[in-house]
Structure 1
Amino acid sequence: MKIEDCFYIGYITKTKGLKGELQVYFEYEEPEDLVLDSVFAEINGKLVPFFISKHKLQNNNTGNFYFDDIDTIEKAESLIRKKLYLPLSLKPVREDDEFLITDLKGFIVHDETAGELGEIIEIHEYPQQYIAVVPYKFNEVMFPLNDDLIVEIDEENGILRVDLPEGLIDLYIGE
């Protein structure tokens, strides 16, 4: 299996207990939609399959996993910080009308006060929120994507209207 035939779901954060249990942090948005019979771990640039004997998902984008043949803490420790992948054939299909916050990448941001800021070039996902990154006046302006700041999402025209707090943009451009 090659990385280009897979999609990234998260990484192993730490061991739990002495019997090889591992904690996985999911960067995939909805881990409960994934088929988790086996995963591929990236080890030395190659994808190595691991069969899952038991797992339990938590509600904080983590899960606890037991892999076949990983039955000691020593074996488990060798997998810490390894990235995990699933084959593209197992990637959940989104509904046509399903819109995710990450779909805002590429939208043009208009602030109620400052006017057009530019295109969202990145969206960072943190446990508490999503952060949009927009180049503006030769700087990167970052702001949270939450209901308090979003005025309107115009999907048809690719425009995000926001009302950013006074002074936020000035922090980035130094005016």
Structure 2
Amino acid sequence: MHKKDCFYLGKVAKKFSFKGEVLVYLDTDEPEIYQNLESVFVEFNGHLVPFFILSASIHKNNFLRVQFEDMFSEEAADRIIGCDVYLPLQMLPKLEGDKFYFHEIVDFEVQDKRLGYIGKVVRVNDSNAQALFEIDFNGKEILVPMIDDFIIKVDRKNKTLHLDTPNGLVDLYIN
């Protein structure tokens, strides 16, 4: 399995017991949908390695208490503490309406209510406090804050993102 075919689920945060159980921090709003997994991919030494789950349960909101197969000691658990956890993209719950996953809208055309076509989504930059749409318009980069009020419609069928940006925001980039 390649990382590009997966989504980030969380991180092995810490040991839970002397029997090799670990707590996996789940980076999701709905941790309960992941408590019945059969396996996950753990990024270990730069590679995604399948880890099979013997038992798992929700622990204090966003943590999953996990007992992996063949991991029955603290020493075994120590080796994966801090490792990222992934699942295949096809396991992402389907979103509808104007909700979307960041990877899902890459290469969508962007139509602004006032300006018309303003480019294609290159990626979503979520490394700052405010996530941004990075849009390419004829080689020029346009940054639009990802604000619910700006998003009119996510048209998956036509791969188009419809926005209503404030006057002057996009104009800064294209004029």
Taking structure 2 as the reference length, the TM-score comes to 0.62
Structure 1 letter corresponding to 2:22: E
Specify the alignment match of 1:15 in structure 2: 14
For 2:170, what is the secondary structure of its paired residue?
helix
Residue aligning to 1:139: 141
- Partners of 1:48 and 1:101 in 2: CA distance: 28
Name stretches of at least 5 consecutive residues in structure 1 with no aligned partner: none
Query: Any conservation in 2 of the 1:52–1:66 contact (CA below 8 Å)?
Result: yes
Report sequence identity in percent: 27
Per the normalisation by structure 1, the TM-score is: 0.62
Deviation at 1:86, TM superposition (A): 4.8
SS at match of 1:120: strand
1:151 equivalent in alignment to 2:155:
no
For residue 159 of structure 1, what is the amino acid of its counterpart?
Answer: T
- Deviation digits for residues 102-130 of structure 1, max 9, x if unmatched? 3433222122344321011223568x986
Give the AA of the match of 1:82.
C
Residue 64 of structure 2 is matched in structure 1 by 63
- How has the CA–CA distance of structure 1 residues 121 and 22 changed in structure 2, closer, same or farther, with 3 Å as cutoff? same
**Count, aligned residues:** 165
Q: Which runs of 5+ in 2 are unaligned?
A: none
Deviation readout 1:120-174 (Å, 9 max, x if unpaired): 1223568x9864321246224132152x222234445433221123454367x39
CA contact (8 A) 2:110 2:162 kept: yes
